[in-house]
Amino acid sequence: MRFLLYLVLLVPCLSQAMPVADMVVVHKSTYSLSLLKNGKVLKRFWIALGPAPYGPKLEEGDQRTPEGRYYLDYKKPDSAFYKAIHISYPSAADMARAKAKGIANPGGRIMIHGQRNGFNPRVQPSNWTNGCIALLNADMDQLWQSVRPGTPIVIYP
Kindly report the CATH number assigned to the domain that includes residue 71.
Answer: 2.40.440.10
Query: If you compute the radius of gyration of the chain from its CA atoms, what whole number of angstroms results?
Result: 17
User: Does the residue 144 lie in any domain?
Assistant: yes
Residue 92 reports pLDDT greater than 80: yes
pLDDT at residue number 16: 63
The answer to whether 130 and 84 are in contact (CB under 8 A) is: no
User: Does the residue 95 lie in any domain?
Assistant: yes
pLDDT at residue number 26: 98
User: Does the residue 6 lie in any domain?
Assistant: no
pLDDT at residue number 5: 41
pLDDT at residue number 11: 45
What does the mean pLDDT of the chain come to?
89
User: Does the residue 55 lie in any domain?
Assistant: yes
Assign 4 a pLDDT band (cuts: 50, 70, 90): very low
The answer to whether 101 and 124 are in contact (CB under 8 A) is: no
Q: How many helices (H) and strands (E) does the chain have?
A: 3, 8
pLDDT at residue number 74: 97
Q: What percentage of residues in the chain have a pLDDT greater than 70?
A: 89
User: Does the residue 72 lie in any domain?
Assistant: yes
Residue 13 reports pLDDT greater than 90: no
Identify the domain containing residue 31 by its residue range: 18-156
Query: How many other C-beta atoms are found inside a 10 Å radius of the C-beta of residue 30?
Result: 12
User: Does the residue 7 lie in any domain?
Assistant: no
Total structural domains within the chain: 1
Q: Are strands 152-156 and 23-27 parallel, antiparallel or unpaired?
A: parallel
pTM for this entry: 0.85
Instruction: Please give the Cα distance from 63 to 49 (Å, whole number).
Output: 8
Q: What is the pLDDT of residues 16-75, one digit of tens each?
A: 677 899 999 999 999 999 999 999 999 999 999 999 988 999 999 999 999 999 999 999
The answer to whether 20 and 146 are in contact (CB under 8 A) is: yes
Instruction: Please give the Cα distance from 131 to 62 (Å, whole number).
Output: 8
Residue 15 reports pLDDT greater than 60: no
User: Does the residue 4 lie in any domain?
Assistant: no
Residue 12 reports pLDDT greater than 80: no
User: Does the residue 5 lie in any domain?
Assistant: no
> Phi/psi of residue 86, each to 5°?
-80, 140
Query: How many other C-beta atoms are found inside a 10 Å radius of the C-beta of residue 51?
Result: 14
The answer to whether 48 and 126 are in contact (CB under 8 A) is: yes
Residue 125 reports pLDDT greater than 90: no
Instruction: Please give the Cα distance from 65 to 95 (Å, whole number).
Output: 15
